[in-house]
Chains A and B, each alone.
Chain A
Amino acid sequence: MEDNVLVDSSWFIQRYREGKDPFRLLEASDFDHEFYSCGVVMTEVCRGVRNRRLYEAIRKDFAVMCWVPTTAMVCELATDLAWELAGKGFTMQVTDLVIAASALTTDAMVLTLDSDFSRIPGLRVIDTLT
């Protein structure tokens, strides 16, 4: 079975920094994955766009991703993760907690360059699409 992959903001942002179109890279991947996103990822990525034409293109690119709605269940899981990690002395960004909870609720791996995600119990983390 193919794996679900939730693509984190950090992966998108790094690709733009390199002058590469991240969605073309997703399209060019082997497509054994089903690519997911959630609201906070789109918001983080899109606020960095300086150009309206690119902004509108990226919004359309996100629109065809599989969407994980930020439901009450996702928020409750993010809260549990936050509390659990805080108890271990680690305070993680709320956006990252929501992304992690979104991935866990869809049994998706997270494609990210942010090593903090590896602290989430049970979350599968990858940093490349190979």
Chain B
Amino acid sequence: MKMTMHIDEALLEEVMAATGAASKTAAVHEALRKVAVKYRQRERWKRDLGMSAEELVAAFDPDVALGLRGHLTEDEPALVAEEAKTYGG
């Protein structure tokens, strides 16, 4: 969309330097995008799930989420392969 706007020249130059934008249009776009993203995230994430801590723990299975991935913290060592077993014979 093409628009005519009055923008503080020094401010725009500062935004161009901060964002690394190659043009004034790109700088304005990037500044607007950042504000929109933060607003969108803040509005979404401030919602209340309506679940207690215990309910949240019960509603999530970390083992399934982790799949074959290793450890989460140093207190919880990575899964290690069991020793090879000999079957039959």
Which residues of A line the B interface, CB within 8 A? 1, 9-10, 13-14, 16-21, 23-24, 26-27, 31, 34-35, 44-45, 47-51, 54, 57, 60-61, 63-66, 93, 95-96, 113-116
A61 to B40, CA, bound (A): 10
Residues of B31-89 at the interface with A, using a CB-CB cut-off of 8 Å, are 34, 37-38, 40-42, 44-47, 49, 51-54, 56-74
Chain A residue with minimal CB distance to B44? A64
Chain A residue with minimal CB distance to B67? A44
Q: Is B10 an interface residue (CB 8 A)?
A: no
A35 to B44, CA, bound (A): 13
Assess whether A16 is in contact with B45, with CB atoms less than 8 Å apart. Answer: no
A116 to B77, CA, bound (A): 12
Q: How many A-B residue pairs have CB under 8 A?
A: 105
- Chain B: residues with Cβ within 8 Å of the partner, total of 36
If A20-B53, A27-B41, A31-B42 touch, does A47 touch B72 (CB 8 Å cutoff)? no
A41 to B46, CA, bound (A): 21
A95 → chain B closest CB, angstroms: 7
Assess whether B65 is in contact with A114, with CB atoms less than 8 Å apart. Answer: no
Assess whether B65 is in contact with A61, with CB atoms less than 8 Å apart. Answer: no
A89 → chain B closest CB, angstroms: 16
For B73, the chain A residues whose CB sits under 8 A away are 14, 113
Q: Is B18 an interface residue (CB 8 A)?
A: yes
A105 to B69, CA, bound (A): 23
Assess whether A35 is in contact with B41, with CB atoms less than 8 Å apart. Answer: yes
A27 to B49, CA, bound (A): 14
